Amino acid sequence: MAILEVRNLSKSFDKLEVLKDISFDVEKGEVVAIIGPSGSGKSTLLRCINQLEKASGGSVKVCGLDMIEGYKNGKPVYSPADVLREIRLKIGLVFQNFNLFPHMSVLKNITEAPMCVLKKSKQEAEETAKVLLEKMGLASKAGSYPCELSGGQQQRVSIARALALNPEVLFFDEPTSALDPELTGEILKVIKELAKEKMTMVIVTHEMAFARDVADHVIFMDGGVIVEEGTPEQVFGDTKNERTKQFLQRYNNDFKD
């Protein structure tokens, strides 16, 4: 069964159509990279699936659960709150600018949701958090506050925070874009580790080499539509699509500058 099934998803902000007829699947254990120029709707796509934005049309299924129940007067009717909540807990989200809770220690950031959402005991939540911090190479930072950490460390904490809820799939929205270039490596390494463990992931990224390296499936978006998708070899190797070619070329040039 697919973890995620997106069908004909569309999204408009007032008159502005940002997503048009987006369809794709994510299978268990698969790593999907979404690439595309700025403003193409990549973040909006993740946010619609994560219920941070309301979709305008189409359907989203997460682990067999329907996010949208049906339609009334052409407007989507969302499923009951408990279903939406269940869906939400199946998806972890890592933000570009971390969005850690500044008033909570690193440990508390990670245990907060397991304790107040999943009602886990403090002890159980802290044990899980410590294992995750160990894995992120941050065991010694449990008592620190986010403001005392580097951007790369903060992002690793936010990955641990998302993993603490044991999600079925992890979304990343440009996880390295807010980082100094010398810090992106540590995040990419963590994501690669997760890929090795067969964590299902959807990653929006501008790191083309990384996308090529880590993804099983690449989606190229432009102007709110999926222009092309396929294996990294197909998309990066010998795309037949003119727009993809142009985009990748511009990227290669940017890197040479």
Partner 1 sequence: MTWEEILQCTEVIARYLIPTLKIFGFTLLFSIPLGMVVALLKMCKFKPVSWLINVYILIMRGTPLMLQIITIYYAIPMMKVSDSAFLQNLFAGVDIKSESYQFNALIVAFALNYAAYFAEIFRGGIESIPKGQYEAAAALGMTKGQTFFRVVLPQVIKRIVPASSNEVITLVKDTSLASVIAYAEIFRKAKEQMVSYSNLTPLFIAGIFYFIMNAILTTVFAAVEKKLDYYK
Report how far residue 163's alpha carbon sits from residue 161's, in angstroms, rounded to the nearest whole number. 6
Contacts of 31 (CB under 8 A, 6+ apart): 195, 200, 201, 203, 214, 215, 216, 217
Nearest of 90, 91, 79, 164 to residue 130 by alpha carbon: 164
Please pick, from the candidates 4, 6, 9, 18, the single residue that binds ligand ATP as defined by CB under 6 A. Answer: 18
Please identify which residue in the block is written with the tokens 């440990």: 107
Beta carbon of residue 174, minimum distance to Mg ion (angstroms, whole number) = 6
Residues between 70 and 129 with contacts to Mg ion, criterion CB under 5 A: none
Beta carbon of residue 188, minimum distance to Mg ion (angstroms, whole number) = 18
Nearest of 145, 139, 202 to residue 170 by alpha carbon: 202
Beta carbon of residue 80, minimum distance to partner 1 (angstroms, whole number) = 15
58 binds partner 1 (CB under 8 A): no
Q: Which stretch in 22-30, 40-48, 153-161, 176-184 sits in contact with Mg ion by CB under 5 A? A: 40-48
The Cα angle at residue 81 between residues 75 and 82, in degrees rounded to 5? 140
Contacts of 82 (CB under 8 A, 6+ apart): none
Q: Which stretch in 2-10, 68-76, 99-107, 227-235 sits in contact with partner 1 by CB under 8 A? A: 99-107
Beta carbon of residue 41, minimum distance to Mg ion (angstroms, whole number) = 8
Residues between 41 and 70 with contacts to ligand ATP, criterion CB under 6 A: 41-44
Q: Indicate the burial class of 106 (C-beta count within 10 angstroms; 0-12, 13-18, 19 or more).
A: buried
Nearest of 227, 226, 224 to residue 18 by alpha carbon: 224
Please identify which residue in the block is written with the tokens 């996010």: 67
Please pick, from the candidates 21, 66, 112, 168, the single residue that binds partner 1 as defined by CB under 8 A. Answer: 112
Cβ proximity to partner 1: between 45 and 208 the closer is 45
38 binds ligand ATP (CB under 6 A): yes
Q: Which residues bind ligand ATP (CB under 6 A)?
A: 13, 16, 18, 36, 38-44
Q: Which residues bind partner 1 (CB under 8 A)?
A: 50-52, 85, 88-89, 91-93, 95, 97, 99-103, 112-113, 116-117, 145-147, 158, 161-162, 165
